Amino acid sequence: MLGVLVNVAAILLGTAVGLVFGGLINEKMREISFRGVGLAVLVIGASMSIGGLSALGDSKLGEFAPLVLVGALVVGGILGEAIGIERGLERFGHFLQEKTYNIKLFAPGPAEQPDAKGHTIVEGFVTASLLFCVGAMTILGSIESGLGNPSLLYLKSLLDGVAAVALATSFGAGVGLSVIPVLVIQGGIALVAGTVQPFMTPPVIHALQAVGGALILAIGLDLTDIKRLPYGNMLPGVLIAALIAGFWG
């Protein structure tokens, strides 16, 4: 669990730095830094997805690898829409907003009005949670951490901490609340690492990279204000792709 705790600490530290120094940055500088993070997320997601898809094509799936990506995202999106994953995350964000409404840290300066504050906390929580919890690095890092090697999660902690600084300058303290799903998801995977590890074959890992990278790319599209996709509802696609690759890869 050490790697998971370090990741949580890095996100909280990055959020604190963003909150403290965010007020010193004017709106135009804040926007350009935010778009810069979005562009970086776009590139990372695209390279991860393309790399995973290319490697998956070398498995038994061969030329059917792109169909795994398409099918996982489509079926996963339909399943996530039926379950209402994004609505659930938003409701949880509103719940956290209500619980933290009277805490000064979560209502700084002119953003004390309920509407502005609610938007900041909920959107910051949802965006940061999905960004920090999606991707092969989350799963693989948590498994390795649970088996006694937290080095991959240390690297993820550095990336997440830097991203949290930029996100917090625009979304506020809601970014810090993302440590709750990070702790639950990564901590849960780390605790069952011994059971999950045998199933993490190369095709499964590559499928996770392909679909997880596509979702990270979707987050980048949102952060750069190009297009908002329901990437939260597409989360089941990660599991679907892993299962397909596990059985037929």
pLDDT in tens, 123-170: 788 888 888 887 667 877 888 788 788 887 888 898 888 888 888 887
Interior/surface letters 43-68, b for 16+ CB within 10 angstroms, e for the rest: ebbeebbeebbebbbebebeeebeeb
Polymer length in residues for the chain: 249
Tokens, residue 214: 């596509």
pLDDT recorded at residue 108:
45
pLDDT in tens, 16-56: 988 888 767 777 777 787 788 788 888 888 988 998 899 88
H-assigned helices in 57-201:
65-83, 85-100, 114-133, 136-146, 151-171, 179-191, 193-196
